[in-house]
Amino acid sequence: MSHCQYCHAKRFEYEPPGFCCNSGAIRLTYHKMPPELSELYFGKTEESENFRTYIRMYNNMFAFTLLGVKYDKELARRNCGIYTFRVQGQTYHFIDDLIPSNEKPRNLQLYFYDHDNELANRMACSTRINESIMKKLMDILKVNPYTVFLKSLLNVPQLSDFSIALKCHSPLDQQTYNLPSSSEVAALWLEENSTDIYAPYIRIYTHSNGTRLVHYYYGCYDPLQYPLLFPFSENGWHCGIQKIIQTNKVTKHRAYCEHEQLRSISNICSVNGFFDMEDESLQKEKRKRDTVSCREYYCYKFQIRDNETNEVIHCGRIFQQFIVDVYIKLETQRLDSFSFNPNLFRIKVLQGLLDILRFGEREASKIENKMFLPITFIG
């Protein structure tokens, strides 16, 4: 098996070059786990076996968000054939109020509501879980920044007078190993100053009888839902992660764009010629993105490297759920990209409108508004 010359990832035969790290343009740190959690994942004791068998249940009990998904329960049964996590449609991550409306806490409410009986509240969720494992996990996640923040709210008097917000992503550089602190993942405002809370935050209420959606493009999307994969709440993918600038390639590309000249529109004699010029313009305007895309991010993260201990990809059933969640995130991001960037496909749209006009249709209300997808999108 060959290795990438840039990031040293193991490569399968016929795997295209640059698939793992975009030929050295991407460099990210890997996530680390505390030794106690690694022992539960990879140990050979009865506790470790119980933990691995019911890992999705344990993760859901400590998750800060609620996973909304329609999955095949028959395939996900632990005692019927090979374990498979298959979903249909979209997945959603929701975040609840701090105080439950029905006196039965769940998700982040378990960190805040009825703190003195936290263990009993968690054990009441299922009869299959092990109490000693629950105690270990509670102790492991004490250092989680979201846990620290939520438990600190217990000491805030008149909490309803404050606005609570989680930051969509922390400003830490993912090219170097940094652990976020509680002040970097959440914030607290007085209600009278709540106008200072702007878009990069997720508002949390003490009791509003509703839930808030955590969007897939938030950096907190992964650590909020998978605390047993990211116990230190390291950010996942979000917009704005920079690539490593490769000077020689950038200079060559800029020189090409500066010396190329487009055809003059005065020389166009037909509609087809106009479309050809439009196509040529699009090709000239293309630039290689200087930020890491969702696909590139997880392609890098899911590689096997001899010089790294990437424990996340060896976490069994919870990793299967996570990778399905990531794939849906990737497809959602691609669809959003096609929807929000119609200029990339404006030639086909204009061609369709001209075809309609050629057929004699003159009523604009009868012309449907469609979203065009490229042939590379397989759904």
Nearest to 90, CA basis, from 201, 230, 215? 215
Q: What is the pLDDT of residue 77?
A: 65
Q: What is the pLDDT of residue 142?
A: 92
Pure H helices in the chain: 35-42, 46-53, 55-62, 109-112, 118-123, 131-140, 145-152, 182-185, 221-225, 247-259, 271-285, 294-301, 317-340, 346-358
Q: What is the pLDDT of residue 282?
A: 52
Q: What share of the chain is helix, strand, coil (3-state, %, to 5)?
A: 45, 10, 45
Residues of the chain with pLDDT under 50: 250-268, 271, 274, 285, 347, 349
Q: What is the pLDDT of residue 274?
A: 47
How far apart CA 189 and CA 162 sit, in angstroms, is 5
Contact partners, residue 44, CB within 8 Å, separation at least 6: none
How many residues in total does the chain contain? 379
Q: What is the pLDDT of residue 357?
A: 55
Q: Which two tokens stand for residue 307?
A: 């010089």
